[in-house]
Chains A and B, each alone.
Chain A
Amino acid sequence: MAKILVITSGKGGVGKTTTSAALGTGLALRGHKTVIVDFDIGLRNLDLVMGCERRVVYDFVNVINGDATLHQALIKDKRLENLYVLAASQTRDKEALTQDGVGRVLDELSQNFEYVICDSPAGIERGAHLAMYYADEAIVVTNPEVSSVRDSDRMLGLLSSKSRRAERGEEPIKEHLLLTRYDPTRVDKGEMLGVDDVEEILAIRLLGVIPESQSVLKASNQGVPVILDEHSDAGQAYSDAVDRLMGKEVPHRFIDAQKKGFLQRLFGGR
């Protein structure tokens, strides 16, 4: 049985899709058979970030409605053996997702994969609810600003009360905090919340801190998950986060605004 991970946030545009693509790719890189499912029906972002938008024939809604089998709809990544994408429909809206339908598809995926990553849409409405409902673990993507932290807090409340695990009284969803678009210089100037502030308010385990980075936009424009850009700070930070997800102890990087020394600049900072 696969582990079902939801990448969620409440607030829009914080980096859920970027994170889904990066973590999914990172898990596949480490040899785990992984599928990333786009729950953002009507927008379809994930396939662009993954660079497979020209190969989408059938999507999630087609599978739910029985117009296509999972086998037909799954798109195999062209770089990695173990990685698949289930795209969202562009022509439908979120009402096309039903609880039963989502449950059936996730069930079938669970039998064939080790990890199922659910890229949630923004908000706390139907689409976001269905993306987290069946999850075993949740990665709550948060930007270091008050409104994003509030929305994440609210989402954490829903995870602990409105998920299948909560309804059945099972062990609660395991919650992780991923702080993204982190800019230590702006934190120092007091323009953004610091890691400690966010951790203190949300009171959940910190999975990682992803720095604000040019490399993210560059990667998504090229349709290459940023984690494959091993020289980029964001790519390295995502890679650390995947290691922590697998249970490794890895120190946090990119948290402090350090002026890199000459030698560090030459040899690449650690």
Chain B
Amino acid sequence: MSQDQDAVFQLKGSMLAITLLELARYDLARLERQLADKVAQAPKFFDNTPLILALDKLHDASIPVDLQKLIAICRQHGLQTLAVRTDRQDDMTLASELDVPVIATSSASGRALEPSDEASQGEVARPSKVIHRPVRGGQQVYAQGCDLIVIGPVSPGAELLSDGNIHVYGPLRGRALAGIKGDGKARIFCKELNAELVSIAGRYKVAEDLRRSPFWGQGVHISLTGDLLNIHRL
């Protein structure tokens, strides 16, 4: 009997851009005010943004935290708490009552992140555009001012555009144009190179050239040196 051959789910590892809010002081009124300021500066950033709420950097670790209120304030400002990072037992109990996962405190600190709606704010990291479904023929996706990540296949006739890097966690069978505003440092990564065209900062190769690469059909990353597109095996 092979009744159960069609899996009803698939587990996939993935690295997603998630914002970390490290609370330094437990002062809800100030938190509200400061969050409201940030939202005013970059409203698009605070639009159902997934968030990890870190309580392990609080200056005074003895003050009890009203987790429910804290999560509510974040939600009001467009931040959706996915998990709480803490090492305090009280927080863990509260989190489990609220059905919010707990992440154990790690040494990983994360870089300070200034939310911004501007395309080119210099060194500031911008959240990538993440697409979780196949990109089909005839569809075009543009990640303006940031990286583009596609989790799934990219069909022939589909077009990916990005001001930064392009990552495809699946076969790339369509067109991928990275660094379209001229960033020659942009790169293209994919699990399977079957592209119709790849381009970095306007320098391109079409399928006819790409097919001659020994890495056609394999996991590669593509970068630009001078005028030359290099294809390296991943």
Residues of A within 8 A of B (CB): 150, 153-154, 156-158, 160-161, 201, 203, 205, 249, 251
Contacts and interface: CB of A to CB of B under 8 A. Distances in A.
B5 A154 contact: no
Contacts of B184: none
B32 to A, nearest CB: 29
A interface, over-half SS: helix
Given A153-B156, A153-B157, A154-B157, A161 B4 contact: no
A182 to B, nearest CB: 18
24 contacts: A150-B155, A153-B136, A153-B137, A153-B157, A154-B136, A154-B138, A154-B157, A156-B136, A157-B136, A157-B137, A157-B138, A157-B139, A157-B155, A158-B138, A160-B136, A161-B139, A201-B153, A201-B173, A203-B153, A249-B3, A249-B4, A249-B6, A251-B3, A251-B5
B114 to A, nearest CB: 29
Interface string B1-15: 011111000000000
Q: Closest 10 CB pairs between A and B? A: A157-B136, A154-B137, A157-B139, A153-B137, A153-B155, A154-B138, A249-B3, A156-B136, A153-B136, A157-B138
Contacts of B3: 249, 251
A199 to B, nearest CB: 11
Contacts of A160: 133, 136
B195 to A, nearest CB: 14
A251 B4 CA distance: 9
A154 B140 CA distance: 12
Contacts of B158: 157
Most interface-central of B133, B135, B136 (chain A CB within 10 A): B136
Contacts of B136: 153-154, 156-157, 160
Given A150-B155, A251-B5, 4 more contacts: A153-B155, A157-B135, A201-B155, A249-B4
A203 B135 CA distance: 11
B134 interface: yes
